[in-house]
Amino acid sequence: EEILMEAPKVTIRGQNGEVVYENGIVSRTTASNVQHAGGHSMTGPASATASLPGMPASTTMTNEKFIALDSNNDPVTGLKYEIQDGEGGIESSGSTGGSGDSSSVVKNAVKKIKLVFK
């Protein structure tokens, strides 16, 4: 399986750190350090800078769903939640279903969504 994310900036955040992909640079931050990796330019007669075409806007529809699991990986049912957009607006709300799943949020180019348990 594959997870595809298309955006000018992608942030993956976990309990102990985050990884940010932006402008060809990868930044990894943890509680103890920060690492950056990016492109480097090599000069000399054998090097050349490639001219890349402009990238089209994404037409990918996203279909985001969350699943709540307990520490034994069993689904948590009946858990009240809200799915919010990047500005705090409510995209969806309800209670987790029989397999611990939220409702789906289907949008064109979702920039940021957040799951909030109530």
pLDDT for 95 beyond 90: yes
pLDDT for 46 beyond 70: no
Question: pTM of this prediction?
Answer: 0.48
pLDDT for 57 beyond 80: no
Asked if 39 and 24 count as a contact pair (C-beta separation under 8 A), the reply is yes
pLDDT for 43 beyond 60: no
Strand partners, 17: 14, 30
CA–CA gap between residue 18 and residue 27 (Å, rounded): 8
Pick from 116, 67, 63: nearest CA to 90: 116
Q: What share of the chain is helix, strand, coil (3-state, %, to 5)?
A: 0, 45, 55
Compute the C-alpha angle 57/63/67, nearest 5°.
Answer: 140
Asked if 76 and 96 count as a contact pair (C-beta separation under 8 A), the reply is yes
CA–CA gap between residue 63 and residue 106 (Å, rounded): 4
